[in-house]
Amino acid sequence: MTEANQRHVTHSLGGCGQKIVILSALCWLTGCSVFQPTVPSNTVAHGMAPSSTGPSPEWYAAYYNPARGAGEALRQNHQAMWDNKARGYTYYVGGEIFASYHPWQHGLTIRTDNDNGRNLRCYWSKQGQLKANGPRPKGLSSQEACIQLLNTLQGYLSEENTEKTS
């Protein structure tokens, strides 16, 4: 800082200007971090949290029904893709499940992904009412098979959430 600038700062700030100049010079010389921006410890260099993944399906399920909870978590998931034609988010686990969530109707559809093309399809409405069609595993009712699919989806979404935050 030049002498003319220092006088200007001192004049504009009154008597405390010299003190600020001296303190900032001392901090600059000693390397103190008083004037350096700090980043919270749980963030990376750009200041964002390490994950933009939303809360887990269980957190959403506490406020809505379990199916809508999984759908809201799916919507926040970085691996979910927006399907412009269907106007919803899709999530695919090869050979296991295909899920889609429609954020305006709050409807969740999960279907199995079999090689033979005969897939169980489960749809939950906003209120959590279940409609199922297609073949189901032996020994299970349609509702039990759909709950199993929902639990599988919630498991995948929860795994990704815990991987990112740990």
Say if residue 5's pLDDT is above 70. Answer: no
CB 145 within 8 A of CB 132: yes
If you average pLDDT over residues 31-36, what whole number do you get? 56
Give the integer Cα–Cα distance in Å for 68 and 60: 8
According to the model, what pLDDT value does residue 65 have?
Answer: 85
If you average pLDDT over residues 79-108, what whole number do you get? 89
Per-residue confidence band for 161, with pLDDT thresholds at 50, 70 and 90: low
Say if residue 39's pLDDT is above 50. Answer: no
Say if residue 146's pLDDT is above 70. Answer: yes
Say if residue 153's pLDDT is above 60. Answer: yes
According to the model, what pLDDT value does residue 123 have?
Answer: 94
If you average pLDDT over residues 118-146, what whole number do you get? 88
Q: Which helix (H) or strand (E) holds 23?
A: helix 16-30
Return mean pLDDT, the chain. 74
Alpha-carbon distance values, 6 to 17, 18, 20, 30, 35 (Å): 8, 8, 10, 20, 19
Domain ranges within the chain, ordered by starting residue: 1-38, 57-165
Say if residue 55's pLDDT is above 50. Answer: yes
The fold adopted by the segment(s) 57-165 is Arylsulfatase, C-terminal domain (3.30.1120)
According to the model, what pLDDT value does residue 147 have?
Answer: 92
Q: Which helix (H) or strand (E) holds 163?
A: helix 142-165
